[in-house]
Amino acid sequence: MLREEVVPVGSHHVVMEDCRRLSVTGVRQVMRFDEDQVVMDTDQGVLTVEGGGLHVEKLSLDVGEVALGGTVNALYYAKNRQSRGSIWSKLF
Say how many C-beta atoms besides its own lie within 10 A of residue 13's C-beta.
Answer: 13
Residues 6 or more apart in contact with residue 81 via CB below 8 angstroms: 45
d(CA 47, CA 17): 17
What confidence score (pLDDT) does residue 90 get? 52
User: Residues 13-65: pLDDT tens digits?
Assistant: 999 999 999 999 999 999 999 999 999 999 999 999 999 999 999 999 899 99
What confidence score (pLDDT) does residue 5 get? 47
The model carries a pTM of 0.75
Helices within the chain (DSSP H only): 87-91
What confidence score (pLDDT) does residue 79 get? 74
What confidence score (pLDDT) does residue 11 get? 84
Instruction: Specify the CATH class of 14-79 in words.
Output: mainly beta
Domain assignments of the chain as residue spans, ordered by start: 14-79
Comparing 65 with 85, which gets the higher pLDDT?
Answer: 65
CA distances to 50, 54, 73 from 18, rounded to whole Å, are 15, 14, 11
